[in-house]
C-alpha cells in the first residue's frame, strides 16, 4: 500500500495505542516472548524500537528486516531529516499496513529506564512481564556480555560486572513498580519447560498460535544469534536452566547469590525461591528504605567507567576500581593472564598490542580457559608476562599454596586483596569470602612463595592493591 509522503516540517506524529507491551529484565526470555508473538500477517512485536527517541538510521537498519520478514513494506531507508522521531516513520509507513490487515502490534523492552513514559504514551492493552531467578540472570548476563563483547571498550560507557550487578538491582525496583499494573507475569523457567505456559501466553493476547521465527533475535546480531542456535538448535529448550546450580563456587557465584539475598521481595513477588531471613542482606545502598521511595540505583552512572558505586565494599565495584587503578600504571604491551576475570572488561584497558588470556571457573565464551582456581588449579601456559587476580584471592581455599603456584609462571602478579584489618567489623560471609589474612600474614605468604611485594593497603578505602615480583627476598610497602 502507498504510505503518506513524509514532511520534515510537520510536528511529530501522534502516538497510536499499542496492543502488546513486553517489559522484562535482560536474560529473562523477553526476546523469545517478542518472537513468539510475531506472526506473519497477524502480529508484530518489535525488539527495542525506541519509538520516542530521535530518528536513528542505525536502529531502523535493524528494524527494516523484521518488517520485511513478516510481510510488511517499510520502503527504502529514508534520509534522517524526513522523520523527527523513530515513531514517525512507524506511524507514517508501518501502522497503516498493520491497521489495513487487522494486525496486533507492540514492543519489547529489556531496558526499563523509560517504561513509565512508554506506558503513558502508548497505553498498551496487554502488558507481559518476563522474569527469571536473579542468580541465573546475573550468570547468564555475564555469558551474554562475553559472547557479544558488550561495550567493554567504550570510553564513555563501559559494561562490566559492576554494571551488570547495578543494572539488575535497578531493574528489580522497576519491575516491582511495573507489576502494580494489570499484567501477565511469565517466568522464564516455566516458559521454556511448559507448553501450557506458552498456551496461556497466546490466549492472553488473543492469538490462536505462536510464532516460530526468530526475527527479533536476529536483530541482536549474528554473534548472539549463532550462540543461541548452538544452545537450542532453533527450538525452545530448557538447556539454559540450572545455570546457577552449575556455576562453581567462586567470585561469580557469590555475586549472583548476593543479588538474590539483597532482594527477597523479588522472589516473593514472582514466585521464586526466597532467601531465609537469616541470610538476607539489609542496609545496602541499592535497597529501598521503603516501597514508596525512588529507585536508589543511579541508572545513568552505572556504565560510567569512573563511578565508584556504593560507599561500602561491594565486590563487583571493587573489581572495577582495581582494574582502572592498575591499568593507569601500565605503559607497554604485555601478555596478560587474567584469573577469575568474570568478564573480559580488562582487555581494552591494556596497552595497545597486548595479548589477553581470560581464565575463570567456567568458560563464558570460546576465548576462556576454565580452571578450578579456588582449589588452586591453574592453567599450564608459557609466555605469560603478567598475571592479574582481581577479586579472586578472598575465595581461594589455601591462599599461601595458591601464591606458591603462581610463582611457577615466573611473571609479576598484580591484584587486589581485602586484608583482615580493612574489613574488620564486616560480615565477610555476605561476600562469600574465606577468612582473610592480616596484612602481615599476606606479606609473609607472598615472601614465602618467592615474591617481593609492593602493596598499597586500602587503596580505595578498603581493598589493597599489590604487585608481586618473582624474587627470593625483599618487600616494600607503599
Domain spans of the chain, in order of start = 20-132+180-226, 315-477
Cα 351 to Cα 330: distance, rounded to the nearest angstrom: 7
**pTM flag (> 0.85):** yes
Number of Cβ within a 10 Å radius of residue 199: 12
Handedness of CA 116, 121, 124, 130 (dihedral sign): negative
Beta bridge partners of 167: none
Dist. CA 300–CA 113, nearest whole Å: 9
Please name which of 414, 411, 416 lies closest in space to residue 470, comparing C-alpha atoms.
Answer: 411
Q: How far is CA 442 from CA 99, 322, 350, 451, in A?
A: 70, 18, 27, 11
Q: What are phi and psi of 107, to 5 degrees?
A: -145, 150
Say which DSSP state 437 is in. Answer: P
First to last CA, the chain: 73
Conformational region of residue 340, where left means phi above 0, alpha means psi within -120 to 50, and beta covers everything else: left
Q: For residues 389 and 6, what is the distance between their CA atoms, to the nearest angstrom? A: 56
Helix (H) or strand (E) holding 438: none
* Sequence-ordered alpha helix ranges (H) in 235-314: 243-246, 251-262, 264-270
64, 68, 70, 74: CA torsion to nearest 10: 70
Give me the helix-helix angle, 251-262 and 134-148, nearest 10°. Answer: 130
Count CB atoms within 10 A of the CB of residue 42. Answer: 17
Q: Which helix (H) or strand (E) holds 328?
A: helix 315-328
Cell numbers describing residue 350: 591494556
> Which superfamily is assigned to 315-477 in CATH?
Vaccinia Virus protein VP39 (3.40.50.150)
Helix (H, G, I), strand (E, B) or coil at 214: coil
Of 380, 288, 292, 388, the C-alpha closest to 336 is: 388
Q: Where are the alpha helices (DSSP H) in 407-468?
A: 439-448
- Over its length of 478 residues, how does the chain's per-residue pLDDT go in tens digits? 344 444 444 555 678 999 999 999 999 999 999 999 999 999 999 999 999 999 999 999 999 999 999 999 999 999 888 899 999 999 999 999 999 999 999 999 999 999 999 999 999 999 999 999 999 999 999 999 999 887 776 667 788 999 999 999 999 999 999 999 999 999 999 999 999 999 999 999 999 999 998 888 888 777 787 888 888 988 899 999 999 999 999 999 999 999 999 999 999 999 999 999 999 999 999 999 998 999 999 999 998 877 888 888 899 999 999 999 999 999 999 999 999 999 999 999 999 999 999 999 999 999 999 999 999 999 999 999 999 999 999 999 999 999 999 999 999 999 999 999 999 988 898 999 999 999 999 999 999 999 999 999 999 889 999 999 998 654 444 3
For cell 536474560, name the residue: 27
Q: Which of 76, 92, 67, 74 is nearest to 13 (CA)?
A: 92
Note the pLDDT of residue 157: 77
The whole-angstrom separation of Cα 352 and Cα 153 is: 12
In whole angstroms, give the CA distance from residue 52 to residue 208: 31
Grid cell listed for 402: 595458591
Range list of H helices, 109-221: 115-122, 134-148, 161-178, 188-193, 195-205, 215-219
Spacing of C-alpha 241 from chain mean position: 17
Nearest residue to 35 via CA among 26, 46, 51, 24: 46
Q: Count Cα atoms within 13 angstroms, Cβ side, for 372.
A: 6
Spatial neighbors of 115 by CB under 8 A, at least 6 apart, are 23, 109, 174, 178
Amino acid at each position: 500500500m502507498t504510505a503518506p509522503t513524509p514532511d520534515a516540517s510537520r510536528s511529530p506524529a501522534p502516538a497510536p495505542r499499542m496492543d502488546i507491551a513486553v517489559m522484562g529484565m535482560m536474560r529473562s526470555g523477553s526476546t523469545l516472548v517478542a518472537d513468539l508473538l510475531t506472526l506473519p500477517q497477524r502480529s508484530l512485536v518489535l525488539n527495542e524500537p525506541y519509538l520516542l527517541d530521535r530518528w536513528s538510521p542505525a536502529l531502523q537498519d535493524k528494524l527494516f528486516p523484521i518488517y520485511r520478514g513478516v510481510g510488511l513494506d517499510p520502503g527504502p531507508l529514508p534520509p534522517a531529516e524526513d522523520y523527527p522521531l523513530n515513531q514517525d516513520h512507524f506511524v507514517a509507513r508501518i501502522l497503516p499496513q498493520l491497521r489495513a490487515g487487522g494486525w496486533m502490534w507492540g514492543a519489547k523492552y529489556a531496558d526499563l529506564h523509560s517504561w513509565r513514559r512508554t506506558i503513558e504514551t502508548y497505553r498498551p492493552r496487554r502488558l507481559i512481564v518476563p522474569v527469571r531467578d536473579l542468580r541465573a540472570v546475573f550468570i547468564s548476563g555475564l555469558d551474554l556480555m562475553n559472547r557479544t563483547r558488550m561495550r567493554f571498550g567504550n570510553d564513555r560507557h563501559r559494561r562490566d560486572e559492576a554494571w551488570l550487578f547495578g543494572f539488575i538491582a535497578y531493574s528489580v525496583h522497576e519491575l516491582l513498580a511495573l507489576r502494580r499494573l494489570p499484567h501477565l507475569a511469565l517466568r522464564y523457567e516455566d516458559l521454556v519447560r511448559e507448553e501450557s505456559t506458552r498456551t496461556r501466553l497466546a490466549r492472553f493476547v488473543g492469538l490462536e498460535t505462536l510464532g516460530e521465527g526468530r526475527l527479533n533475535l536476529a536483530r541482536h546480531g549474528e554473534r548472539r544469534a549463532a550462540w543461541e542456535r548452538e544452545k537450542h538448535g532453533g527450538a525452545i529448550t530448557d538447556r539454559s536452566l540450572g545455570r546457577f546450580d552449575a556455576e562453581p563456587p567462586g567470585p561469580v557465584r557469590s555475586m549472583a547469590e548476593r543479588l538474590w539475598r539483597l532482594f527477597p521481595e523479588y522472589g516473593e513477588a514472582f514466585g521464586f525461591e526466597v532467601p531465609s531471613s537469616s541470610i538476607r542482606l539489609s542496609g545496602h545502598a541499592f535497597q529501598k528504605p521503603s516501597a514508596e521511595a525512588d529507585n536508589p540505583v543511579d541508572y545513568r552512572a552505572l556504565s560510567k567507567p569512573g563511578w565508584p558505586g556504593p560507599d561500602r565494599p561491594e565486590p563487583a565495584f571493587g573489581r572495577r576500581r582495581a582494574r582502572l587503578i592498575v591499568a593507569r600504571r601500565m605503559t607497554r604491551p604485555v601478555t596478560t593472564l587474567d584469573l577469575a576475570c568474570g568478564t573480559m572488561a580488562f582487555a581494552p584497558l591494556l596497552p595497545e598490542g597486548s595479548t589477553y588470556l581470560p581464565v575463570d571457573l567456567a568458560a563464558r565464551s570460546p576465548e576462556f580457559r576454565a580452571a578450578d582456581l579456588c582449589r588452586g588449579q591453574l592453567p599450564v601456559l608459557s609466555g605469560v608476562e603478567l598475571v592479574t587476580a582481581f577479586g579472586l584471592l578472598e575465595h581461594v581455599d589455601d591462599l599461601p599454596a595458591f601464591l606458591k603456584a603462581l610463582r611457577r609462571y615466573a611473571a609479576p602478579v598484580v591484584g587486589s586483596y581485602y586484608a583482615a584489618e580493612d574489613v574488620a567489623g564486616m560480615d565477610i560471609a555476605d561476600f562469600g569470602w574465606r577468612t582473610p589474612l592480616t596484612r602481615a600474614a599476606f606479606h609473609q605468604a607472598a615472601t614465602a612463595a618467592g615474591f617481593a611485594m609492593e602493596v598499597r593497603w586500602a587503596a580505595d578505602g578498603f581493598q589493597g592493591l599489590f604487585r608481586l615480583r618473582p624474587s627470593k627476598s625483599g618487600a616494600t610497602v607503599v
